[in-house]
Amino acid sequence: MNETRETRIKRMKMRSTRRGIKEMDLILSAYADRNLQKMDAVGLANYDALLQENDQDLYQWVTGQTLPPEQFVDLVADISKTFQK
């Protein structure tokens, strides 16, 4: 799919807001609003990949209950900081 940066960010913001569980809606929508515009292409690709993960797993990663896969360690740490603010 060939989408513009603007379209991609809009899609990811929508996906961040409409998750399976309300906690992840709140956490990811806050993170997306604060950070997606500043991300480079690699950061956007990593966040897009994270959005494909299961909400229960994401919640456990963000809250520190379990460790995320290596690919997402830095991103999850950054999301956790946003969540704690």
Distance between CA 79 and CA 81 in Å, rounded? 5
Residue 74, phi then psi, degrees to nearest 5: -65, -40
Distance between CA 46 and CA 27 in Å, rounded? 17
| Whole-number percent of the chain with pLDDT over 70 | 95
Q: Could you tell me the pTM of the whole model?
A: 0.92
Question: How large is the average pLDDT for residues 43-64?
Answer: 96
Distance between CA 39 and CA 78 in Å, rounded? 12
Q: What is the predicted pLDDT for the residue at 1?
A: 58
